[in-house]
Structure 1
Amino acid sequence: MSMPKLAIDCYENNKSWFHAAKSYEQIILLAKETDKLSEVEDYANRACCLYQQHGSPEAAAAAMDKAAKMTESKHPDLALGFYKRALAVVLIGDSTHQASEFASKVSRILVRLKKYEEATKALKKEISLNLQTKSYGQVGRLVVALILVQLTLEDYVDAKKTFKKWGNRCDPQEVNTLQNLLKAFDDEDPELATKMLASPFIRHMDVEYALLSKDVPLPQGNRQMTKNGIDNAAN
């Protein structure tokens, strides 16, 4: 990697920020080919900074996106950081549509990593962005996802508040599922909760949320009962 680094030094000395950033991206590709993905973080962040210095926020966000996709399967924590930075970059440029895409990736990785407290904040941000772009079809699903996370945290009060605040953005199927799910917790009815969590609608959500539904503790139940109950209901 010495040749690309020499080129970067030359570009930076001449304040050719864009070309220096491109050279860092070449190093990232070499790191992928040599399976040294843990080294990607520093190079990707430098590329992002240089693109921003050049006044190219789109290229900066794209560099973060590429690095995230490259590391997501083996190093999801790294990918999470890249998607967060990409989100921050596009928000500076007021690109709300693109921001909602990165916000979605942040939310899903947080759920996969079981960082549920942070995931609730990320999902609320994602809902807000989709409301700004009038992507109402997405909002309903995100409300369901947020309530699943809150129920996993056993935060039933906040789950009810979420439904009260954004339930009117859900379609009839989503409303019916959530009403019955929350009723199950109100009535401490594990059978109804199991049935709702195993509904085809929830099972066909993004994979992170579909898997999460198996970890939601049943009313007065434990996690193992939840998993067994949902699996049986789905069969």
Structure 2
Amino acid sequence: MAAQKINEALEHIAKADKYLKTSFLKWKPDYDSAASEYAKAAVAFKNAKQFDQAKEAYLKEAENHENNKALFHAAKAYEQAGMMLKEMHKLPEAVQLIEKASMMYLENGTPDTAAMALERAGKLIENVNLEKAVHLYQQSASVFENEERLRQAVELLGKASRLLVRARRLDEASASLQKEKNIFREIENYPTCYKKTIAQVLVHLHRNDFVAAEKCVRETYSIPGFSGSEDCIALEQLLEGYDQQDQDQVSDVCCSPLFKYMDNDYAKLGLCLVVPGGGIKKKSPASPQDGTENSTAAGSQVEDDDDEYSRGLC
């Protein structure tokens, strides 16, 4: 079966070569027909699992579409070539071709397709290169934002924010979260603004910037419905506990369902948040013996939390 498909592909390539030849009566190559034959060859190679040859055929197809000024079809062919590189586990090279395709989509006047291509590239590279994935998601979000497709833009910004937290690029994560919050406010999705504020506060506290965390909460009071909400009350308790170096209060807030069921990257920030002073829990007002036991247990809990996330965010 594979051999049959390979022979079929080679026949299509031979036909493509004929379409590209010129003669006394044929002055210009037939780029459109050649591109069609290369596309058929690529599919045949792909079905035979000859991914390297399929990639080359797609690149030839793209080249001929470019020569024919058919940018959209050229971009599609570059994307397909990128997917062949993915099958070959050459992800950086695959992303490079998909980025090239996205530029062609933009040049062709199809920005939505460009943005979706960048998002696909981000998904491909996310487990290999976080920084590149962040860049691709931000680029995609920017394209959607320029097209006033804010819901799609903010979804991609959210992906970028979470990856920035995972990579411990907390200053950039804070700025990205602020941009998310601004968009959610613009589209009047106020409850999600509250959740983004919680994430932002956790990021600021991990940056050891209590002032920025407090300012973040104060600014959110201007968003309708925030004052008196469960998010507002929890954040006030969190900041109070952090300011007073009360690890018990901070841990209680961060272990509440409101914090635990956030996106995983932010939930981890809460679970491993330690107040200044080493994060030793305050002794409860009990007998000296009980207090010692409580203190030991608390210290053990903090150590367990630290150990759980020592290889991750914390």
Same fold by TM (over 0.5)?
yes
- Do residues 212 (structure 1) and 269 (structure 2) align? yes
User: Unpaired segments of 5 or more residues in structure 1?
Assistant: none
Q: Structure 1 residue 214: deviation in Å?
A: 3.0
Query: What's 1:191 paired with?
Result: 248
| Counterpart pick for 1:100 among 125, 150, 154 | 154
| Counterpart pick for 1:131 among 177, 185, 204 | 185
Tell me the TM-score normalised to structure 2 length: 0.69
Over residues 212-234 of structure 1, what are the superposed CA-to-partner deviations in whole Å (9 max), with x where a residue is unaligned?
Answer: 223433132259x69726849xx
| Counterpart pick for 1:65 among 109, 119, 132 | 119
| Counterpart pick for 1:15 among 63, 69, 74 | 69
User: Unpaired segments of 5 or more residues in structure 2?
Assistant: 1-54, 281-298, 307-314
- Do residues 118 (structure 1) and 192 (structure 2) align? no
Structure with greater contact order relative to length (CA < 8 Å, sep ≥ 6) = 1
Provide the C-alpha distance between the structure 2 equivalents of 1:222 and 1:183, rounded to a whole number of angstroms: 15
Over residues 178-221 of structure 1, what are the superposed CA-to-partner deviations in whole Å (9 max), with x where a residue is unaligned?
Answer: 01000012222122112212222111000110112234331322
Aligned pair count? 231
| Counterpart pick for 2:99 among 45, 49, 55 | 45
1:221 alignment partner, SS class: coil
Using a 3 Å threshold, how does the CA distance of structure 1 residues 226 and 101 change in structure 2: closer, same or farther?
farther
Query: What's 1:31 paired with?
Result: 85
User: Does the Cα contact within 8 Å between 1:154 and 1:217 map onto a contact in 2?
Assistant: no
| Counterpart pick for 1:150 among 179, 201, 204 | 204
Provide the C-alpha distance between the structure 2 equivalents of 1:121 and 1:157, rounded to a whole number of angstroms: 15
Tell which deviates more after alignment, 73-82 or 199-208.
Answer: 73-82
Q: Structure 1 residue 148: deviation in Å?
A: 0.3
| Counterpart pick for 1:3 among 53, 57, 77 | 57
Using a 3 Å threshold, how does the CA distance of structure 1 residues 162 and 150 change in structure 2: closer, same or farther?
same
RMSD: 2.1
Structure 1 vs Structure 2: percent identity of aligned residues? 29
